[in-house]
């Protein structure tokens, strides 16, 4: 066979695209190569046969599917554990943050264990006996507010109704005399 001409290239292109040959029919009738190219789609269509997946296809597919399910489960567990760990770390950072400023008030001296004092009259920290505790200066107003904040009383779950009703007695007589 000779080298294909530009017309043969046009025929091959139109056959490949599935377009009609129209004006190229005269060339196809005389050219052996173009006749073979034109018959090629019909020959390919005639060789169609059902593909048999072979023995063990269902077993291979089942094993492959189980492998994918197991892989996805391991990834899901690892992802969930990682997300939970990240959430715990974030919560630890948020809730366990230490205040960066000095204490607002120091509890006023009152009943309770007294701090040990050395011979020089300076308080001693029992955890660091070699370091003297510096004297703490607390504003008197802050000391009074801390003293007024009776934490033990405020933490109880019930109220003392005698203290609550006593200041309301004069108003009770006033309210009973007025009819809505």
Q: What is the mean pLDDT of each run of 10 residues along the chain (180 residues)?
A: 75 87 87 89 77 84 92 96 95 74 50 50 61 69 76 65 71 68
Residue 81 falls within a domain, yes or no?
yes
Residue 162 falls within a domain, yes or no?
yes
- Report yes or no on whether pTM surpasses 0.85: no
Q: Which residue has the tokens 């003293």?
A: 147
Handedness of CA 94, 95, 96, 99 (dihedral sign): positive
Tell me: the pLDDT tens digits for 44-68?
877 777 777 788 888 889 999 999 9
Residue 51 falls within a domain, yes or no?
no
Q: Quick check: 155 and 166 in contact, CB under 8 A?
A: no
Whether residue 135 sits in one domain with residue 70: no
Domain count across the chain: 3
Residue 50 falls within a domain, yes or no?
no
Whether residue 91 sits in one domain with residue 61: yes
The predicted structure's pLDDT at residue 54: 81
Q: Quick check: 116 and 124 in contact, CB under 8 A?
A: yes
Q: Quick check: 117 and 109 in contact, CB under 8 A?
A: no
The predicted structure's pLDDT at residue 85: 96
The predicted structure's pLDDT at residue 133: 59
Whether residue 115 sits in one domain with residue 179: yes
Residue 49 falls within a domain, yes or no?
no
Residue 37 falls within a domain, yes or no?
yes
Residue 1 falls within a domain, yes or no?
no
Residue 123, beta-bridge partner list: 117
Residue 91 falls within a domain, yes or no?
yes
Whether residue 148 sits in one domain with residue 82: no
Q: Which residue has the tokens 């190219």?
A: 37
- Domain holding 25, by residue range, is 6-44
- Cα–Cα distance for residue pair 81/73, rounded to 1 Å: 12
- Cα–Cα distance for residue pair 17/85, rounded to 1 Å: 58
Q: Is 7 helix (H, G, I), strand (E, B) or coil?
A: helix
């Amino acid at each position: 066979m000779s080298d294909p001409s530009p017309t043969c290239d046009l025929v091959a292109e139109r056959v490949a695209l599935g377009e009609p040959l129209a004006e190229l029919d005269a060339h196809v009738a005389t050219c052996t190569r173009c006749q073979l190219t034109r018959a090629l789609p019909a020959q390919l269509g005639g060789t169609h046969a059902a593909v048999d997946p072979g023995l063990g296809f269902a077993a291979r597919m089942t094993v492959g599917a189980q492998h994918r399910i197991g892989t996805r489960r391991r990834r899901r567990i690892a992802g969930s554990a990682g997300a939970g760990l990240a959430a715990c770390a974030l919560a630890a950072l948020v809730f366990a943050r230490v205040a960066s400023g000095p204490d607002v008030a120091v509890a006023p001296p009152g009943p309770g264990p007294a701090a040990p004092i050395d011979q020089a009259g300076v308080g001693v920290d029992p955890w660091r006996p070699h370091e003297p505790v510096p004297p703490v200066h607390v504003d008197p107003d802050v000391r009074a507010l801390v003293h007024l904040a009776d934490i033990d009383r405020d933490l109880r779950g019930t109220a003392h109704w005698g203290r609550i009703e006593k200041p309301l007695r004069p108003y009770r007589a006033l309210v009973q005399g007025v009819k809505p």
